[in-house]
Every structure is written in structure tokens, then in C-alpha cells.
Structure 1
Amino acid sequence: MLGHVEMHPPAYRSPHPSPRTAAFFDLDKTVIAKSSTLTFSKSFYQGGLITRRAMLRTAYTQFLFLAGGADHEQMERMRSYLSALCRGWNVEQVREIVAETLHDIVDPMIYDEAASLIEEHHTAGRDVVIVSTSAAEVVEPIGKLLGADRVVATRMVVGEDGCFTGEVEYYAYGPTKAEAVKELAASEGYDLSRCFAYSDSATDVPMLESVGHPYAVNPDRALRREAVLRDWSILTFERPVRLKQRLPGLSMPTRPALVAAAVGAAAATAGLVWYASRTQRTGKRGVFARV
């Protein structure tokens, strides 16, 4: 049975609620303008975790990702490379790097349009769930930053020595995203026919078709074709903005809060867009994290 990680008290629920609904958001190029984990390569280089050559390689990968995304074969090649790259990284060190640099790196990349949608869904009484192939150690703090209720993300295995083994525990990619959405709907009582989903990638078609209201956001060519064929709405997000600029009164989490948001998990690798993790020290965590 998959567990939930509590990061704050659950919101009040009416004793006689109507069927619950949720809005499921892909993260990279849907809510934020770049790859959430590839963007951390400079921070990992400065922290001594990767070489300058590896940093430049992840920068090039970021360019390719922004230019046209990556098909399944390209993603698998990168997955193998990045698995070898992060093997042996100390969890505590990478957690601190992510916590220290999260706001400077991620906050300026958040699409204003996506932040507005998240607010609208919350106002309508829907849960907001980030469903991302990116590593949980980056996605969970970003989810907290955005005010998301839960995240579903890729997880890696952490060994007894507190370091990444390079193995994958849960891979949130393609059909497994749709499976996670359906499992979460079953456990939380979401009526998927009334739920929403947003993504930029054709690899997320299974997730999009699992809800009643799918949206293609800044779609790649394959997803645009699919959206036209299926008569799905197509949205264009193009205004990255800092949350502090959008919401001057917003109280941003402190560094300890960000570390707590990772809840003992390893931090993301320099481009670990396709990886998974296991809870360090206390053992295996559930796929779903409540932020």
C-alpha cells in the first residue's frame, strides 16, 4: 500500500462533500519554463558534485530539451548516463544544495499563467497535484513553493551509506503517471471525469486522457497533433515571473522549511529528470507526497 508524506495538516473537508476533484500539472515546460533538475547543474558543479564537462553537457541537454523536448529513445540514453553520474553522491550534501539555491533558480522560471491556474483551481475547491518525471527531491520543494497539495515524482534508491546507488525505485514517466493519477484518485475520492490535467509532452497523453478536462500546454509537435485530433484545448504559457513579484505579500519558505519539504529524501541530480528515490535512513516512502 502506497503511503502519503504529510508536510502540513490536511485542509478541512466538509462531512458531506460532493465528489472531489483535482488538477494534475506536469512540471517542466508546463508550470516552469525549463527542466527543473537540469537547471541545477551549475549549483552541483559549484558544490563539487560534477565536473565542468558534466555541467556543460547538462547545459547542452537543457538546450535540446527546450528546443524540442526528447523522445523515448533520447530519454532512455540520458537516463543511463545520469544514473551513472549521480551514483555515490552524498544525500545530505545535495539536499542542502537544493535548499540553498531553490528560490534563485526556480522562482524566476514559474509561468504566471500556470500560477494563476493553480490559484483558480484552489479557489474552485480542487486539489492541485504536481505529477513530474523530475526527481522528487526537487519536485517536492517546488510543489511547496507553488502551494500544491501533493506531488507524484520519480524516486531513486538511497543506500545505507546515505548515497545514491544509481538504481530507480519509482519512475514517473508516461503510463506510470496515468497509473499514479488513477491510484491517487481512488485513494482520495477524485472524480476523474471532472478533473483537469496539463502537460507539454506527448509522453503524457495517458495522463491527459485519464481526466475529463485535458489541456496541452506549450505542446511539442506530437502532442499538438494529438490535441488537434482529440479536440483538446491548447494553451500557450509565455510569461515567467517571480512569485514575489506576483504576490508581494507572499511569505516564502525559509531554508529549514525547504529542507523539511524534501523530508529526508536525496536532492535531485544534475539533470535527473527521469529518476526515482527511496527514503534515506527511515526506509521506503510512498509514491505520493503531500506538500
Structure 2
Amino acid sequence: MTPDTPASAPRLALFDLDHTLLPIDSDFEWGEFTTRIGWTDAQEFGRRNAEFFAHYQAGTLDIRAYVRFATEAVRQQGPEAAAAAHAQFMREVIAPAIRPQALELLRQHQQAGDHVLIITATNEFVTRPIAQALGVAELLATELERDTKGWFTGNVLGEPNMREGKVRRMEQWLAQRQWGWGDVHSTFYSDSTNDIPLLEKVNTPVATNPDARLRELAVQRGWRILDLFSATP
């Protein structure tokens, strides 16, 4: 953390996505959605999806293995079917989950002139349309490798955008603008202990809808706690 960053420094507002800006996990819900539309076996896929999700919550997820699993149905169906299914997913699952509290928080930062980024471990196929729906142009997500035809291979491209990987991906983003952490004032909103490395790096960490372990840590360290959806039925 760099508490003596100049007041005139560029301001960054970084947001995790799942359970932070959305009250759901978009990655998990996409998996459940593929079962509902008949792309995956309900029992076997549901069991494995829940198992991966539990590992994510525990901070033990092998994200490369998860991405291979999570993109298998998409890869088999092909680009046109995948795009149509994702549009349906946006209508049926994501749009109802977008809350005015989240939109207002994003707009406050945007209207203040902050650089607003969504930085999420969930892969780019699932999250790019969600970022667009939230009105956020800049997305750092786990990127997917493509084959010579431009379609997903099931592998992660580069470094997964998770845990310490989020810090390194942000540092690459900063370096592209010839900035370092000391050149900006950064705020990061997240619900998860998986994001402790980045929460520890920014000027202003905000534990947002935090899980129990992050809430306890935030209390210990004096971090701000924001229960963004507390007023949502």
C-alpha cells in the first residue's frame, strides 16, 4: 500500500465481479445454465461444478483445471450457439441480478473521473458481456487461449487472473500506462479472501459483501466494510 500517493494522482476504482458487483457467482451460474439448456448432464456436471465452487471459496481452486471443465460445453457447441446461449443467459440470469446499488457505486466513481476496472477470475467469455451491461469498458478477466480458427482450446492464455495473478495483471495494466502503484490512488472492492493479495496492495481496500473470513480480517485491519446488497430482499 502507498499511503503517501500525491492527491493529484490518477484514481483507480477496481471491482471484483461475483458477489461484489453481482449478488451471484456468474461462473457458477453459467455452469448451471448450461445444464438447464441441455448442454451438460445435470447430475455429473452439477456435482463437479459444486466441487470446484467449494474449492474457490476455500481458496484452493486449480483455475486451469476449472477453465477446461467450465468451457467444455461451449467449445463443443461452437461460436454461434455459444453466443446465442450467452445472450439468453444475460437476459434470464444476469439482467435480473444487476442491482441499482451496484450501478450507482460504479457511476459515482465514473462521474468522479476515476479509471474504473472490473478485475475478475471468471473467464472473459462469461464476463465481457456482463461488464458491458454494467457500463464498464475495462475488464481484466482470465483470458482464454484460441486455436488457429479463433475458437477456445480449453486452456488459459497467460496468467490466470486470480489471487496473486490479479496483482501481476494489474501491474501489467499500470506498466502499459507507465505507472506504478505509487503513481496512482487505488481502491479495490472485493468479497473474497482470494483477493487478499490485491486488497493488501491498494491504497483503499473495501471488503464488499465479504465472506466471513474476509469480514474478520477487515475488522482486524480496519478496512472499510461495505454491505452493498444488505437492503436487497
TM-score by length of 2: 0.81
Cα distance, 1:191–1:122 mapped onto 2, change above 3 Å: farther
State the structure with bigger RCO (CA 8 A, min sep 6), 1 or 2. Answer: 1
Cα distance, 1:55–1:240 mapped onto 2, change above 3 Å: farther
**RMSD of Structure 2 on Structure 1 (CA):** 2.8
Secondary structure of the structure 2 residue equivalent to 1:39? helix
Secondary structure of the structure 1 residue equivalent to 2:19? coil
Cα distance, 1:113–1:147 mapped onto 2, change above 3 Å: same
Give yes or no for the alignment of 1:172 onto 2:161. Answer: yes
Residue aligning to 1:72: 59
Give yes or no for the alignment of 1:38 onto 2:25. Answer: no
Whole-angstrom CA distance in 2 between matches of 1:176 and 1:82: 15
Give yes or no for the alignment of 1:22 onto 2:7. Answer: no
Residue aligning to 1:233: 224
Aligned residues: 219
Q: Which of the numbers 142, 150, 153 marks the counterpart of 1:154?
A: 142
Shift of 1:41: 2.9
Shift of 1:162: 5.1
Q: Deviations over 1:101-138 (max 9, x none)?
A: 31321122123322211011011111210000001112
- Asked if 1 retains the 8 angstrom alpha-carbon contact of 2:67 and 2:123, the reply is no
Where in structure 2 are there 5+ consecutive unaligned residues? 1-7
4+ long deviations beyond 6 Å: none
Residue aligning to 2:39: 49
Shift of 1:174: 0.4
Cα distance, 1:187–1:85 mapped onto 2, change above 3 Å: closer
Cα distance, 1:177–1:59 mapped onto 2, change above 3 Å: closer
* Percentage of identical aligned residues: 27
Letter aligned with residue 57 of structure 2:
A
- Asked if 1 retains the 8 angstrom alpha-carbon contact of 2:59 and 2:193, the reply is no
Give yes or no for the alignment of 1:86 onto 2:63. Answer: no
Give yes or no for the alignment of 1:206 onto 2:183. Answer: no
What aligned pairs does 1:119-138 form with structure 2 within 5 A after superposition? 119-138=107-126
Give yes or no for the alignment of 1:220 onto 2:205. Answer: no
Whole-angstrom CA distance in 1 between matches of 2:179 and 2:108: 18
Whole-angstrom CA distance in 2 between matches of 1:141 and 1:105: 12
Cα distance, 1:85–1:177 mapped onto 2, change above 3 Å: closer
